[in-house]
Amino acid sequence: MAERRTKRGTPRDNGPGGRELERGEIIAPPQSVSVVGLREGAEVFGGPEPGEPVRVEMQVRMCLSFAEILGLLLYTPGLSLMFEELEDGDAVRDSLQFALIETSLCAMEINAAIAEEEYREALAGRGKAPLFVRMLAETVTRLFGVTA
**DSSP state, residue 85:** G
Q: Quick one: pLDDT band at residue 44, thresholds 50, 70, 90?
A: confident
Quote the pTM value.
Answer: 0.70
pLDDT in tens, 84-111: 999 999 999 999 999 999 999 999 999 9
pLDDT tens by residue, 120-130:
999 998 877 88
Nearest to residue 82, comparing CAs of 145, 136, 45, 143? Answer: 136
Confidence of residue 3 (pLDDT cuts 50, 70, 90): very low
